[in-house]
């Protein structure tokens, strides 16, 4: 995020605040005070949430509505970039949004979020301290963010279809080769290669593949990533936000995606009685961890309801339901013993310690890196 942008954002936010102030009704006179309803602390029974698709267990929102009488409006976005653009434009109308921590950092710094009233969220202590410490990089003091789920960006494949397309070629030692090495992509294009359509997903993976820091501060590294990607561009036909359908529906046989969604696709294929085996792979050089975090927007109209929802979500049984049904690991330590055996034993959902230590933790981009990243991705996608 460039500084000028934030400055102008901050200025318009100030102006907006000034307007809002003017529009507020003046204090009631003693006469009108008699009949004025006590509206001070009462929030309308509404909560507006903006989250990623395929992330909330069926029935969870209805259970919250039933218990609290608060009506939940739930919308979805497909990339961090899309959410970020909305937040920067302002007046989203959303109370809770769920950015990845890489984006949450500049959003907090830019004044787009409000600090949590932690004393009013009693289940916060259920969160895994080890995860909360890693989030301090994005959110010093853990004052703004509560993890919804975490997972990692990796390579997913339809093993059955991909192996057929590869013919005699053995599986590479490093699964990233399947999506980044022309020897493999030139074969796999026949059954479909899908990339997430998000610069901040693809470029860090590409940087990592060429042996650079996935969140490099050096613009020259981004150029190298674009050069590498340019060699496989012609083989990549699907830029997608619908990885689950692409893999489960047979449109793609290999994809750069999120382990959770790839596992949902695997499960869906089974439900559809397909004989194809879909898997989230664990590349030998590591995959890229992400944390998706709930935050309350600066201009949320229903911050109290938002706190109630966060507290509700942090109940162990709700966090466990998310992991058991959506196949994304929870950061709720108190939920771990409620995981179903097939989830707990799936190594691409609950990653083993020795693989975990190989994975790349999320970081953040400098403004300069952000610009280099955007231009690397655009030139890659355009094929120039």
**Site residues (vs ligand N2P, CB under 6 A):** 52-55, 100, 258, 260-261, 290, 292
Which DSSP symbol is given to 383?
A: T
Q: Minimum CB separation from ligand N2P for residue 183, in Å? A: 29
Q: Minimum CB separation from ligand N2P for residue 188, in Å? A: 23
DSSP string, 4-63: HHHHHHHHHHHHHHHHHHHHSPPPPPHHHHHH----TT---SEEEEEE-SS-S-TTHHHH
- List CB contacts of 106: < 8 A, sequence separation 6 or more: 1, 6, 364
Q: Are 278 and 158 in contact (CB under 8 A)?
A: yes
Which DSSP symbol is given to 359?
A: S
Between CA 337 and CA 2 the distance in angstroms is 44
Nearer to ligand N2P, 57 or 172 (CB): 57
Nearer to ligand N2P, 241 or 253 (CB): 241
Nearer to ligand N2P, 13 or 131 (CB): 131
Between CA 289 and CA 153 the distance in angstroms is 6
Between CA 375 and CA 381 the distance in angstroms is 10
Q: Minimum CB separation from ligand N2P for residue 258, in Å? A: 4
Q: Minimum CB separation from ligand N2P for residue 323, in Å? A: 12
Instruction: Indicate the SS3 state at residue 239.
Output: strand
Nearest-10 crossing angle of helices 367-382, 219-230: 20
Q: Are 225 and 233 in contact (CB under 8 A)?
A: no
Nearer to ligand N2P, 54 or 95 (CB): 54
- Length of the chain measured in residues: 384
Nearer to ligand N2P, 52 or 312 (CB): 52
Q: Minimum CB separation from ligand N2P for residue 363, in Å? A: 15
Nearer to ligand N2P, 199 or 260 (CB): 260
Nearer to ligand N2P, 177 or 292 (CB): 292
Q: Minimum CB separation from ligand N2P for residue 179, in Å? A: 17
Q: Minimum CB separation from ligand N2P for residue 360, in Å? A: 15
- The secondary structure element, H or E, covering residue 382 is helix 367-382
């Amino acid at each position: 995020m460039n500084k000028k942008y934030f400055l102008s954002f901050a200025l318009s936010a100030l102006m907006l605040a000034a307007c809002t102030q003017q529009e507020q009704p003046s204090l009631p006179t003693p006469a009108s005070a008699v009949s004025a309803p006590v509206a001070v602390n009462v929030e309308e029974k509404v909560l507006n949430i903006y989250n990623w698709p395929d992330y909330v267990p069926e029935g969870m929102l209805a259970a919250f509505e039933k218990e609290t009488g608060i009506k939940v409006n739930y919308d979805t976005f497909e990339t961090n970039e899309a959410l970020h653009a909305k937040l920067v434009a302002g007046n989203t109308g959303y109370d809770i949004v769920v950015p990845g921590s890489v984006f949450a950092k500049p959003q907090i710094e830019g004044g787009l979020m409000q600090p949590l009233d932690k004393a009013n969220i009693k289940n916060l202590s259920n969160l895994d301290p080890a995860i909360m410490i890693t989030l301090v990089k994005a959110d010093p003091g853990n004052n703004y963010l509560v993890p919804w789920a975490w997972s990692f960006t990796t390579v997913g494949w339809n093993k059955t279809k991909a192996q057929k397309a590869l013919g005699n070629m053995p599986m590479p030692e490093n699964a990233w080769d399947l999506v980044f090495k022309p020897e493999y992509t030139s074969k796999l294009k026949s059954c479909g290669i899908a990339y997430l359509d998000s610069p901040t997903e693809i470029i860090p993976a590409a940087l990592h593949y060429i042996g650079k820091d996935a969140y490099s501060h050096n613009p020259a590294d981004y150029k190298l990533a674009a050069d590498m990607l340019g060699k496989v561009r012609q083989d990549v036909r699907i830029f997608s936000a619908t990885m689950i359908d692409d893999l489960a529906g047979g449109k793609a046989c290999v994809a750069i995606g999120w382990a959770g969604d790839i596992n949902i696709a695997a499960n869906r294929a089974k439900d559809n009685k397909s004989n194809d085996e879909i898997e989230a792979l664990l590349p030998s050089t590591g995959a890229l961890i992400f944390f998706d975090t709930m935050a309350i927007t600066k201009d949320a109209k229903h911050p109290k309801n938002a706190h109630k929802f966060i507290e509700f979500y942090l109940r162990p049984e709700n966090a466990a339901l998310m992991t058991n049904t959506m196949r994304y690991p929870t950061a709720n330590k108190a939920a771990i013993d409620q995981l179903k055996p097939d989830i707990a034993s799936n190594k691409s959902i609950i990653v083993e310690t020795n693989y975990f230590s190989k994975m790349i933790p999320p970081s953040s981009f400098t403004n300069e890196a952000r610009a280099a990243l955007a231009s690397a991705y655009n030139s890659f996608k355009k094929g120039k």
